[in-house]
Structure 1
């Protein structure tokens, strides 16, 4: 199986689970849980397709990925309640996996279409964080990517590495995936932040 397909599967499952976790924390009903899970898994890809010139309808050809997302959401929804109380730790972890997998997948997509490095980085950021932004907005939260917490920077790093041709082989891409996931986990574990400038209130 191609590296691109494996990363797509990992990202789809991870983001579908992440969306389902947040929907349940917000006490959405079963319909809301499925909607938020699906939107999180496929939102980033839809935005990316629009911006790099692919029809959004390409998403509907990914039947296997939709089935994977639906299965993942169902498993989370049926999870024992005592395990779901740890949702934040697991939700953040699955979000980190999804970010890494989709950022790399988006960068590969743009590279294969012959786009310049700037477009490769944009594709990595949008694919890696687009679904999460839509998820957070639908859940009534401030999107992680727009807060001080380091999030999209790791997608930029993935796009830069791939755009510069520093990771081409399968083993290099999987290594990059592991590094990006680990950096994202460390950034929320140790509360790494980007600088924030607050306006003074008089």
Structure 2
């Protein structure tokens, strides 16, 4: 090996060590940021979920449709997609997850969500370190269904992550969705985290 090759290799190794040292220092300084309290996280999480009243199951429609299985699959697909997007957010996305779901909401739910977003944006701390939640639907259970509406309970796995957490926190949470058939499309009229 020539002297020139040895110098190039030593320079590359030195540069790699320097880059790793800088990365380590940057990550260490981020870990020192104050973590949000459990109460703050819980408040923000509950604030992201609408606080609309639920319809008791005794008053809900219990008629089961005899329509084709694809209709049932359609309402479940809408509910699954809605729940995963509705429950996944970060404090840096400015509630885009909710705004992107407006076309899949009834007018009544959209009005409630717009008012809720205006309130939440006023409470949001733009200097807070990153935190986010991703949601994955594990199971869908139809509580009631008719040609004009459906009530479903979805079991989800939610993963909370952020710069203040050493490891992601995984927890399970149900969400109940009330859907209405409007112009041959299923739209969510109510969403309630349990």
Q: TM-score range by the shorter chain?
A: under 0.3
Question: More strand by proportion, 1 or 2?
Answer: 2
Question: More helix by proportion, 1 or 2?
Answer: 1
Q: Which has the larger Rg?
A: 2
